[in-house]
Amino acid sequence: MNSVDAIKQVLLRSGASWVLWLLGAALVAAVAVIVERLLFYRTRECDLRALARRLGAHLAGRDFDAAVAELGRSKSVAAAIAAAGLELAAAGPAAADKAMQSAAALERRGLERWLAYLGTLGNNAPFVGLFGTVIGVIGAFEKLGQGSGGGAGVGGGAQVASHLIMASIAEALVATAVGILVALPAVVAFNYFQRRVASLLAGTEVLSNLVLAYLSRTPAPTV
């Protein structure tokens, strides 16, 4: 037995059902990631206009402790980044700016968590499904080759074999359909979450620039 026959036998023994189970598990994981990310992003949003107004009132009076406390009451990304800058307010606006840049990088890591899984699944699930289809087609042609060995009833045998291979190929194509079905929500969610992350990070500039504006206008607070 050569290497091609050996690989063919391995594929025929394994069948295509494991591909469907793999895609099903990947779909369940994708749904879990989508739900988790939706809930996570909802907790990291806030009313930036209202928060900026309250924060500005504290900064105008140079009450930096109250400003930090105000930001601490919010779980939003913008509040976390602005609070990181205010913690180094005593060192001046340059140090506060660097602190907020560092906090923004950390927040980006949290916001982009699991997005790589959705992107990878969206790009590769159709190929996994196609692999299952190929295995099914190999099995269909193997059955056709075994069924065409008989000499009696050539016409009837050919018709039966034709129906057999068509049914087997139709069954094998289910794997490709499932792969596309898994990929579609993953791609849609990945693109949506990418825009959501960009929107959240863009919103952080509202509070960051406000903090830097007041720190640049007033002398650094004494501790």
pLDDT, greater one: 204 or 222:
204
pLDDT digits (tens, 9 = 90+) for 81-97: 999 999 998 888 999 99
Residue 205 has pLDDT above 50, yes or no: yes
**pLDDT tens for residues 2-40?**
787 888 787 778 777 889 999 999 999 999 999 999 999
Q: Which residues contact 77 (CB under 8 A, 6 or more apart)?
A: 44, 45, 107, 111, 200, 201, 203, 204
Q: pLDDT digits over 128-173, tens only?
A: 999 988 888 888 777 777 765 554 455 555 666 677 677 777 778 8
75, with CB counted inside 10 A (0-12, 13-18, 19+), is exposed
First to last CA, the chain: 82
Sequence-distant (≥ 6) Cβ neighbours of residue 93 within 8 angstroms: 212, 215, 216, 220
Who has greater pLDDT, 117 or 220?
117
Per-residue pLDDT band at 221 (split at 50, 70, 90): very low
Nearest to 107 by CA among 143, 73, 82: 82
47: number of CA atoms within 13 Å, CB side? 5
